[in-house]
Structure 1
Amino acid sequence: MGTVTPFPATRGKPEQIGFERLELNRILDLYGRMVAAGIWRDYAMEFGHDVAIFAAFRRAAERPEIRIEKRPALRNRQGMWALINEQGVVLKRGHELGPVLAPVERRLMKVVED
């Protein structure tokens, strides 16, 4: 018989923070609608040790118009989700992704009405 070697499990803090499938589906759905409206043209994702970031750009050669950040360390405080504008100002923070994305979705509704 062979020797069974256990898979190394990380205890405590994970090595990399990422988006779950439902979270990413919600974010990419919003991104697709903003692309269809002609507002956004590019996006980037960054996965670090303490934060996962989705950044949306109007044009590829500039700072992101918005950043959606997931910081699980803030889950029990002000909430792990944050919506940050181009200047770095936190527009919305919360425990749920839906309400944090609401200002961007309202903006999309205004674009469709025009």
Structure 2
Amino acid sequence: MNAQPPVPFGGHTPSHQQVAFHRTELAPILSLYGRMVAAGEWRDYGISCLKDVAVFSVFRRTAENPLYRIEKRPKLRNKQGLYAVIGLNGQVLKRGHDLASVLRVLERKLIRAVD
């Protein structure tokens, strides 16, 4: 009797890899998220790992559209930059190669004048 390796359900293997955030990328994103939750600005988040983009979406309320999207697009690594922060209306607020510098556009929203 010959042993054969198991055949995946459906008879095929996925041909593409998903883009995802690495632990070192999630640490500064979740740090910023925690500070904004403590300030009462944000309440929920979602992570999507797709074929050519990974998205960290930030919500004020769960049922709404995301306030901001932090995107990672590896195809833009050599062009405009790997990371981008996109606003509610789809406008690119900041794009760049360094995640920390891209996230600064959101950290400015945390700083307010005290009366």
TM-score (norm 1): 0.84
Q: Which runs of 5+ in 1 are unaligned?
A: 6-12
CA-atom RMSD in angstroms:
1.7
Corresponding letter in the other structure for 1:94: G
Aligned to 2:112, what secondary structure does the other structure show?
helix
Corresponding letter in the other structure for 2:24: L
Aligned to 1:99, what secondary structure does the other structure show?
helix
Q: Which runs of 5+ in 2 are unaligned?
A: 6-14
Aligned to 1:55, what secondary structure does the other structure show?
strand
Aligned to 1:32, what secondary structure does the other structure show?
helix
- Number of equivalences: 102
Separation in structure 2 between the aligned mates of residue 73 and residue 14 of structure 1, nearest angstrom: 14
Larger radius of gyration: 2
Runs of 4+ in structure 1 deviating by more than 6 angstroms, as ranges, are: none
Aligned residues: percent identity? 56
Corresponding letter in the other structure for 2:51: H
Report what 1:87 is aligned to: 89
Aligned to 1:60, what secondary structure does the other structure show?
coil
TM-score (norm 2): 0.83
Separation in structure 2 between the aligned mates of residue 108 and residue 22 of structure 1, nearest angstrom: 22
Corresponding letter in the other structure for 1:37: A
Question: How much does 1:44 deviate?
Answer: 0.3
Change (3 A) 1:37 1:85: same
Separation in structure 2 between the aligned mates of residue 34 and residue 61 of structure 1, nearest angstrom: 18
Question: How much does 1:20 deviate?
Answer: 0.9
Report what 1:73 is aligned to: 75
Separation in structure 2 between the aligned mates of residue 101 and residue 27 of structure 1, nearest angstrom: 8
